[in-house]
Amino acid sequence: MRRSTTRARQGGGSRIAAWWDAVLAGESDEPHPIFGERISVRVTGERLVISGELERDEDRDALLQQARARIGHGIRELDAARLRVAHGHERPGLLDQTLVAAFPDRETADLARKFVLEHSRVTPKSESVIDGTNTGYLRKMLPEEFLEDLRRRVERGDVLVVLRVDET
């Protein structure tokens, strides 16, 4: 699976820092902004204990880097013995999907596309914003059975965001 944790972290740096601050203060029951409920973090005395399962070594490294940045701020030790990486053996393309969303105008569609690209953990194989000026791209990106419905949406003034992703 192609992932983009770097891009996701760039847009969510302040959210991540605020989440860690809340964890260290003992005030957070919220999941991690990027890794969600796949991980558990707790403070025991001066020890930060992290457990759970991540999909890639790079994700584990990024999480540990975030945690190590908290050492010296009431934390002396990091315990990540129960944090493991699940090495998936799925066949690429198994969860290949095309996602389509309709928006009332180009500005909103561009904003939604940008948000998904910055915050998604999956890097799209292809992405496009479709309006009345480029409906020809629909045929390249979507199966025939969806074209008529989506063309009608564009004719009524909607702007489409089309993303192709492989979530394996």
Condensed to tens digits (0 to 9), the pLDDT of residues 43-71 reads 988 899 999 999 888 899 999 999 999 98
pLDDT tens digits for range 111-134: 999 888 887 777 788 888 999 898
Q: Which residue among 45, 63, 85 closes a domain?
A: 85
What one-letter code names the amino acid at 2?
Answer: R
Please state the rounded mean pLDDT for residues 28-54. Answer: 90
Q: Are residues 15 and 81 in the same domain?
A: yes
Q: Are residues 79 and 126 in the same domain?
A: no
Q: Are residues 144 and 101 in the same domain?
A: yes
Q: Are residues 69 and 126 in the same domain?
A: no
Instruction: Please tell me the pTM assigned to this model.
Output: 0.50
What's the CATH code of the domain at 104?
3.30.70
pLDDT tens digits for range 132-148: 898 888 888 888 898 99
Q: Are residues 81 and 100 in the same domain?
A: no
Written as six digits, the tokens of 121 are 């953990």
Output the CA–CA distances (angstroms, integers) from residue 108 to 26, 31, 131, 158, 160, in the order listed. Answer: 38, 28, 12, 10, 10
- Domain extent for 115: 96-166
- Residue 91 within a domain: no
- Residue 90 within a domain: no
Domain total of the chain: 2
